[in-house]
Amino acid sequence: MRLAARSLATALSVAALPAAAAPRALPGAADLRRADARYAPVDLRLDLSRLPEGERRALARLVEAAQVMDALFLRQVWAGNEPLLLALSRDRSPLGAARLAAFLRNKGPWDRLDHGAPAFLPGVPEKPAQANFYPAGATKEDVERWLAGLAPEAKAAATGFFTTVRRAPNGGFVAVPYALEYQGELARAAELLREAAAATADAGLRKFLEARAQAFVSNDYYASDVAWMELDAAVDPTIGPYEVYEDGWFNAKAAFEAFIGVRDDAETAKLQRFAAELQGIEDVLPIDAAMKNPKLGAMAPIRVVNELFAAGDAMHGVQTAAYNLPNDERIVREMGSKRVMLKNVQEAKFRKVLVPLAGLALSPADRAAVAFDPFFTHILMHELLHGLGPHEITVAGRKTTVRAELGDTYSALEEAKADVAGLFALRKLLDEGKLDRAMERTLYPTFLASAFRSIRFGVGEAHGRGMALQLNWLLDARAIVPRPDGTFAIDGARMKEAVVSLTREIMTIQGKGDRAAAKALLEKMGVVRPEVKAVLDRLSKIPVDIAPRFVTAEELTRG
């Protein structure tokens, strides 16, 4: 029987679902449209007229390869996604159309702004924390016991970024390379990357695309990560398995995503100077000297691009404004990491969300100080700070990593670290006269407005939970103060002290690999307190984020 001809109920049943929650009222078409209105539509148009014809052909192939990442990510999120999508696509009713739109927005049947609740479809289980990286029916404890019994080399493969864990014929577990698990899709993506490589005249871009195509079939991503770090081309693609947020068990398995961008030369040139400041920032971090890196990787490239297209893990719910990759600790140790700023995405977020939000959440004096430059620059510094502080550590004589030791607490704590240490770094540069003095007044108000923006993503998501931790720390320090009218005011002197103390707290936990301390901190502080909820309730009519429409990409692939 053709799967596309099955009913929604049948499609769900073939997905081997665990028992669903008790029956509850489901939202109707109007409810789903209201939920979708939380995302402000934005047309992303790019002027490609200055690019040679070959680069435009390469971009078209890259967009097609990125669309393959979309299909792969759906599979990684949940085994039931593909049959469910086929069933939803057959429902032509207004309710069916609204459900399909919600599914595509969230890359699955769970509202990512509502802690992953199965909010809009019948018969759907809770979002599986293990996603589709581990065997159906297995528990986290089952997998941990299996991992504990493996030899070091086998354990490294099983816990690596680029393998799934599946049932072996004997009922045990086995690590399966992505190149085998996703063989068909990756073969097609590799073919498209090779076509893009043949079209471009840029040698660096060609080298990366050919290396990444080879990685898709070999499962060895090291050479292509090196080529991506060295890439400095007008066409700027990021494509492959990268972030580990979907793996709620171990934060170990990389999800497929793609950002296809075009470099903004003027903005990139302006921001390159920050790379030279990283060692100086590392040297003065408020942590024990033994936790600092006396010699950061030699490369810390910064690129400002305008986004042409995004897909997979890069295109669900809240949109990425910048990213810091790769996550492979070998590359970070040897070369540093690359920071990519998505300028047109950030401009849209600032205009559509941050400015109206500041008008309701901040005191009159503070809201007047909100500006795009500190918003853009702090996002940059957030990405830079991901590469600073503890990464490779020693715990009880074992060489290990912060990611491995902190497990499921890693992502939220790391996002909070990058935020607050980013403020610490910007304060240092201001004190040294290396930034425009106008940012003295605009930095903290803009950060606070952005903090309320981020916590609206929900504390079930790493960025939102990390932001809740920061807001509560600042509240306890009286660095931000609720006012009788429901807005918040900033105490600049206390803010500076609180930024230092929270940076120290988080990085010390990371440097010790202390998962128990990380868990306790997040359980206590990673929550929405009443005074914060009161502000969030007032923001209900302001969009939470943007919904990009990739107009130029559509025109490019149609042509």
Q: To 10 degrees, the CA torsion angle through 76, 82, 83, 84?
A: 90
Query: HSE-up of 477 (CA within 13 Å, CB side)?
Result: 22
The CA distance from 20 to 132, in Å, is 17
Q: Is the pLDDT reported for residue 73 higher than 90?
A: yes
Q: Residue 389: its pLDDT value, please?
A: 95
Q: Is the pLDDT reported for residue 114 higher than 90?
A: no
What confidence tier does 559 reach under pLDDT thresholds 50, 70, 90? low
> Quick check: 73 and 247 in contact, CB under 8 A?
no
Mean pLDDT of 29-35: 92
Higher pLDDT among residues 335 and 365, named by residue: 365
Q: What is the pLDDT of residues 237-254, one digit of tens each?
A: 999 999 999 999 999 999
The CA distance from 501 to 489, in Å, is 20
Higher pLDDT among residues 335 and 195, named by residue: 195
Higher pLDDT among residues 46 and 5, named by residue: 46
Q: What is the pLDDT of residues 315-326, one digit of tens each?
A: 999 899 989 899
Look at 78-87, 179-188, 451-460, 539-548 and tell me which has the smallest mean pLDDT: 451-460
Q: Residue 423: its pLDDT value, please?
A: 98
Mean pLDDT of 420-431: 97
Q: What is the pTM of this model?
A: 0.82
Higher pLDDT among residues 432 and 12, named by residue: 432
Q: Which amino acid is at 123?
A: G
- Give yes or no for a cis peptide into 374 (omega within 30° of 0): no
Q: 512-537: b or e for each residue (b if 16 or more CB lie within 10 Å)? A: bbbbebbbebbeebbebeeebeebee
What confidence tier does 9 reach under pLDDT thresholds 50, 70, 90? very low
Q: Residue 532: its pLDDT value, please?
A: 94
Q: Which amino acid is at 17?
A: L
What confidence tier does 488 reach under pLDDT thresholds 50, 70, 90? very high
Q: Residue 119: its pLDDT value, please?
A: 66
Q: Residue 300: its pLDDT value, please?
A: 67
To the nearest whole number, what is the mean pLDDT of the chain? 92
> Quick check: 349 and 545 in contact, CB under 8 A?
yes
Q: Residue 24: its pLDDT value, please?
A: 64
The CA distance from 125 to 110, in Å, is 9
β-strands 480-482, 488-490: how paired? Answer: antiparallel
What confidence tier does 18 reach under pLDDT thresholds 50, 70, 90? very low
Burial label for 364, CB within 10 Å (0-12, 13-18, 19+), is exposed
> Quick check: 229 and 338 in contact, CB under 8 A?
yes
Q: Residue 17: its pLDDT value, please?
A: 41
What percent of the chain is modeled with pLDDT above 70? 94
Q: Is the pLDDT reported for residue 15 higher than 60?
A: no
Q: What is the pLDDT of residues 275-310, one digit of tens each?
A: 789 999 999 999 999 999 888 765 568 899 999 999
Look-up: residue for tokens 């009161």? Answer: 534
Look-up: residue for tokens 């490589």? Answer: 197
**Which 3 state secondary structure label does DSSP give 338?**
strand
What confidence tier does 13 reach under pLDDT thresholds 50, 70, 90? very low
Q: Is the pLDDT reported for residue 20 higher than 60?
A: no
The CA distance from 134 to 155, in Å, is 15
Q: Is the pLDDT reported for residue 215 higher than 60?
A: yes
The CA distance from 465 to 324, in Å, is 19
What confidence tier does 148 reach under pLDDT thresholds 50, 70, 90? very high
List Cα–Cα distances, 392 to 168, 251, 323, 328, in angstroms. Answer: 32, 16, 20, 11
Q: Helices 439-455 & 372-386, crossing angle to 10 degrees?
A: 70
76 Cα distance to chain centroid: 15
Q: Residue 559: how many CB atoms within 10 A of its CB?
A: 8
What residue spans of 369-461 are helical by DSSP H?
A: 372-386, 402-406, 410-431, 439-455
Q: Residue 8: its pLDDT value, please?
A: 39
Q: What is the pLDDT of residues 432-486, one digit of tens each?
A: 999 999 999 999 999 999 999 989 878 877 888 999 999 999 999 999 999 999 9
138: its two tokens: 């297995």
Q: Is the pLDDT reported for residue 407 higher than 70?
A: yes
Q: Residue 99: its pLDDT value, please?
A: 96
Q: Residue 123: its pLDDT value, please?
A: 86
